[in-house]
Structures are given as structure tokens and as C-alpha cells.
Amino acid sequence: MWEGKNKNRVKKKKSKLGLGRWRIVVAIVFLFCFSIIYQLFTLQVKDCDLYKAKASRQHEYSSMLTPDRGRIYFQEKKNNQENFFAAATNRDMATIYTVPKDVLNPEEMAHKFYNFFDKPRLEEEIREENKEREIKKEVIIATSTKETIISNYLKRFDKPGDVYEPLNIRIEINNFLKLYSYIIQPEYEVEGEIKESSLVEHFNNQEYEKYELDIKKEITVDDLKYRNGKVYYTGEQKEEDTTLIIPGIGFNVGSYRYYPENELGSQLLGFVSYVDGEGKGRYGLEEFFNTELFGEYGSIETDVGAGNIMIASDRDYIEAKDGADIVLTIDRNIQTFACDKLSKAVEKHEATGGSVIIIDPKTGAILTMCSEPKFNPNNYSEVEDISVYNNPNVLYQYEPGSVFKVITMAAAIDKNKVKPSTTYNDEGQIMIEGWYKPIKNADFSSKGAHGIVDMNYVLDYSLNTGAIFAMKQTGVEDFSAYVKDFGFGEKTGVELGSEGSGNMANLLRDRVKEIDAATASFGQGIAVTPLQMVMSYQAIANEGNLMKPYIVDKIVYEDREEITNPKEVRQVISKETAETMLAMLVNIVEKGHSTKAKVDGYYVGGKTGTAQIASKGGYRQNEYVHTFIGVAPIEEPRFVMLTKIDSPKDVQYAESSVVPLFQDIGEFILKYYQSPKTR
């Protein structure tokens, strides 16, 4: 009986065990089915958009189409013919990079890059410096400079690991092919340590010691072609093109901004930076007109078939709109001549900088604008001081000095308070109420009092006391109003951006101090930009009408042109006053401090200014800004020109620095325009 009971118990245990296993199998199947259902739900519902996008990427192609950046042109207007010269354009350039671990011989490659890129430039610099230095010193300079340059290359050619190393070298395709040709040719220049004797011999003979060359082994640039980012050898002995690969050296090709005139007008133009990959204008016209020059992106979306072959379709194609071209008022010939003369003058006088601005007085068009120091926008990253990017003609302000006396005199004459024949007694100095010491003429220590003199004499000999006299006759409030009407204290609105407004705060108060008006009458205690200063003379040369300066002649879009029309700002002085002032300016050149501005066959008018440089708490000792503004020919003015030199070391007064500079440029312009002689 007990045995039967135990058998029943065993059967029950076995049936329970079978049931548990079956439940586990069912649970696994259920979980598996649920997982499949969940995955289907995820694919078809939850992440539907995501997987649609992934699928689209496999059989659809889309891309942004980059427009060509618009060009900037200088022009030449001569004999009723108009010619254009590219000041900023685009070129396909090769940007070189290296993967250091793949460079087979870093030292050899560093020497070759030095020889190709840096050696010619260094030797040219040495030849220039060698005129004033001893050859032995130049050898030391050349050797140390070479070692530094090669060391910098080695840092990029000899690094461990799989590192992408940009060389910061961008080169035109043709020159890039020459580089390829040079690198793969046998070494033919003596490498290793340069001895002083061989370098001195090179300086004297300008020749290199060379190995014998097997001409048949040389590969010239004519044997190389560039296609689709690759360099091919196309020698006659090869039936098919052979791709040339230089281990560790690669390049990317793209369209980059290029400035054919190099430094010419660099602060005017600015440059294009590719830091963000897009290419944005920085400084100057490139920044001011970046939107117009850049254009508009296009786009393309198309299907991709088997083998990644694109299926042509225009249903989703939007053509990129190239940027507009900009034609400047700058005359290339005048700009080139004037900027070259300025550069030589700054170097001659060991000055810290300088400027030339030339204006068409009838329209306000800027014919020339240049400054020193300058930079090459093709290599803008090489500058040591980024402040050189700024255009000092519109941004920086300075105390103009005696050139401002013409404005003071124009206000007094236009107000009928003085005439050119009006006299006063010059004592050489004058006390102003509220000031602790007398204001003196610049020549007081050598000339003393000038006695009874008229207003022509005041300008001819640049008497501070005479300017104060004229200002007092006008009255402080009216004098301040004329200064403002001439455009001082406000931006001119020229299309260059980053323009300064000057500082006339001393004359714009509700109650102007007598000392502030007195010093302002001869150009101290106020601040102007060079462009403001030359435009005030433009008004005098244009029958008293102040024009808005402009530098863009026209903007050329694909479907239209926007032409700049001259714009009159206001009538500042009467036509009669303007004619009187021009005659007084001629007197200064004929009899006064500016006789070196004379141009044979023409009547020229102008005024100098020698101003101390303001600094915190006063003025710098023995540092001056020299300015001359002239008009020619006086009967029918073709141009108004400002020449300015900062801190010249060898001369004290403007008549010995900026006046001869004006004369050189002015004579060129009159001949260039073929202006008929009038005397």
C-alpha cells in the first residue's frame, strides 16, 4: 500500500517538471516574438524618419553649391577710354599639407622647401641690406636665418604618429607643378653647411656651385599636368600618364582670393579669411561689401544609381549666384605712382608711417588712397602687428596743425568779418583768458613779432596769432558752426567701414572755452581723420560745395548695374569765398612756406601743417605729423591731394617732407591728365 502511494507521488513530480519546462519554452518564444514586433515598431513607427533619411543617403545626393566671389577692379580713364585691372580676383590654388610619419627624408625635404620658397626671398633681402652692411655680417645673418627656417620645416616634417600637419603654404597651380618638378629632380645645389667663403663668392658672382646634371633624368614642369587634385607625369617615353606621389606631401586644390597687385591698396581692399572654410571678407572693401561679393549659395539634390552613378535631373537644382563685381574710382596708374613715392618718402625720412589721398573735387570720387606701413593681402597672416590691417586714412585721427588755418580763414571771410587785406598787429604771441601762458607763433624764437600784417601774410607764414584773430572776428559760435559744416566731427560715410568721426568735443559744448576755440583755430586741441581734412579742401576747390566721398564707381550684378552718382552734402561757403581762398592758397605756394609745391606751367595752391603729436598728459617731444593739402590747377581744379608723413626723423617742418612729395605726384597727375599749361 505504501509503495503504491510513492509511485503516484513520483508521477505527479514528473508531470510538474514537464509543465515548467513547457512554460519556459513558451516564455522564450513570446519574448522573441515581442522583440521582433518591437523592432518592427521601432523601424516603421518610432524611428521611421531616421531610417528614411539613412536610406535616402544611400540613393540620394545633396550638396551646397558655392558661388564664385565677385572681383574688385581698379580702373584707368584716359582719352575717353575705360580700362579695368583686377585688384582682387580668384585663382585655383594648391594648399600643401604633410603627414610627417610618411615623409621618407625629413631633412632633405626641409632643405628643398627652404630652397624653393624661402631662399630667393632671403637672398633678395640680403642683397638690399648688403648695400649698407659688411658682407661678413650678412653671412652670419643669412646662415642663422636659414637654420631657423629649415628648423621650422623639420618640426612639421618629423613628427611621430599619423598627424595631419598643414604647412600654411598656398601656391598657384603652375608654381605647385614647379615645386613637384623640383622635389623629384636629383639634388643639384650644394647642401650641408654653407661656408662663409662660398656665400661671399655667391654675393659677388650671384652664381651657385652645381653638381653635374644628367639632363635625361630631369623632369621639368612641362612634363607635369594637374587633373582632379593629382599630379601626372606625361613624359614622351611613357605611353600612359603616370600619377606622381611624393610620400608624406599632399595638397588640396580650391578657389582662393588672389591680389595681383600685392601690397597696392592693401588697406583699401582688406583680405578674405578662410579660417571658417567659407571665406569671409575682413577689413576694407572685402568686409564692407562681403554680402555683395560673396553671392548666394546654390544647391543640388539628385538620385544615385548603381555604382554611385549620379542620375542627371534638374528638379532639385538651384544654381549658385556668383558675387557682384565692384569697380572702384581708384585710378590704377595714379595709385601705383603715388603709393611708390609715398613708400620712398617714408623710408627716406625714417618715418613711422604716411598717407596719400587724392580726390576729384567736382564729384568727391577717391582717385588714390594709400598708406604706410602696408601689407600683402595674399600673405596677410605673416604680419607681425595686425594693426597694419586698419586704414589710417579713415580710422585714425590726429591733430592737423596749420592746415586747419585755411578753414578758420574761410569761415571769417565767408562771414564778412575779414578780407584778405584786413590787417592786425602781430606781437608774436598772445595771452588767452583762462590760460596760464601766452600762445606763440611757431617762429617766435627766431622771428619774434611780425608787426602789422594782413590775412594773406597770416597764411603765407602760418601765424597762430593771426588764426586766433580771424576766429575772434568770426565769433566762437559761428566758428564752431562752420567747422561742423565742413564735415568735421562726423563720419563722411565712405564705403570703407570702421570710419572714425574725429573729435570736436571742445567746440560742440554749450559754452565753448576761449582757449579751446583759440587752439582749434590753428589745428590743435581737435582731432580729424585724413579723409575729413582733405574733403574740407575739396569743398573750397568745388565752389564751396562739400561732396560725399566715394570709392565705388559701380557694382555689377548678373542682371543689373548700380552706378554711384556724386552726392552733394551741403554748401559750406559761397562761391566768392571759395575763389578768394583758392587765390590765397596760390599765394602760399608762390610766396610762403610751400614754394617746393610749384609745378612748372601751372598755378598750384596749398597749405602745410606741422603739428605736435598728442599723448596722454600733453605732447611728445620732438615728434611731429607733417601734412600738406594742395589743389591744382587752380583755375579748373582736377585734383585735391593730401600728403602726410608721421614722425619723420631727419626734418622738422612739413615744407621739407610732404611738400616735395606733393610736387612729385602732382606733376605726374597733370601730365597724365594732359592738363593744358596756364602759365
Helix (H, G, I), strand (E, B) or coil at 510: coil
Provide the pLDDT confidence category of residue 206 given band limits of 50, 70 and 90.
Answer: very low
341 contacts: CB under 8 Å, gap ≥ 6: 356, 661, 664, 665
What percent of the chain is predicted at pLDDT more than 90? 51
Report pLDDT for 214.
Answer: 37
Provide the pLDDT confidence category of residue 319 given band limits of 50, 70 and 90.
Answer: confident
Residue type, 414: D
Provide the pLDDT confidence category of residue 203 given band limits of 50, 70 and 90.
Answer: very low
> Which position has the higher pLDDT, 162 or 220?
220
Helix (H, G, I), strand (E, B) or coil at 22: helix
Please state the separation of Cα 497 from the chain's center in Å. Answer: 12
Minimal CA–CA distance to 645: which of 606, 678, 611? Answer: 611
Residue 616, pLDDT > 90, answer no
Q: CA dist 156 to 99, 104, 109, 341, 573, Å?
A: 8, 13, 11, 41, 65
What percent of the chain is predicted at pLDDT more than 70? 82
Is 413 within 8 Å of 580 (Cβ atoms)? yes
Phi, psi of 543 (to 5 degrees): 60, 30
Place of cell 586741441: 525
Report pLDDT for 587.
Answer: 95
Q: How far apart are CA 348 and CA 375, in angstroms?
A: 19
Radius of gyration of the chain (CA): 37
- Largest Cα separation within the chain, whole Å, is 159
Q: Which of 205-214, 271-280, 526-535 has the lowest mean pLDDT?
A: 205-214
Report pLDDT for 229.
Answer: 75
For 324, the grid coordinates are 557682384
Report pLDDT for 116.
Answer: 87
Report pLDDT for 210.
Answer: 37
Report pLDDT for 244.
Answer: 79
Residue 290, pLDDT > 80, answer yes
pTM of the entire predicted model: 0.81
What burial letters (b/e) apply to 39-58, b meaning 16+ CB within 10 Å?
eeeeeeeeeeeeeeeeeeee
Is 623 within 8 Å of 592 (Cβ atoms)? no
Q: Write out pLDDT tens, residues 496-536.
A: 988 999 999 989 888 889 999 999 999 999 999 999 999 99
Whole-number average pLDDT of the chain:
84
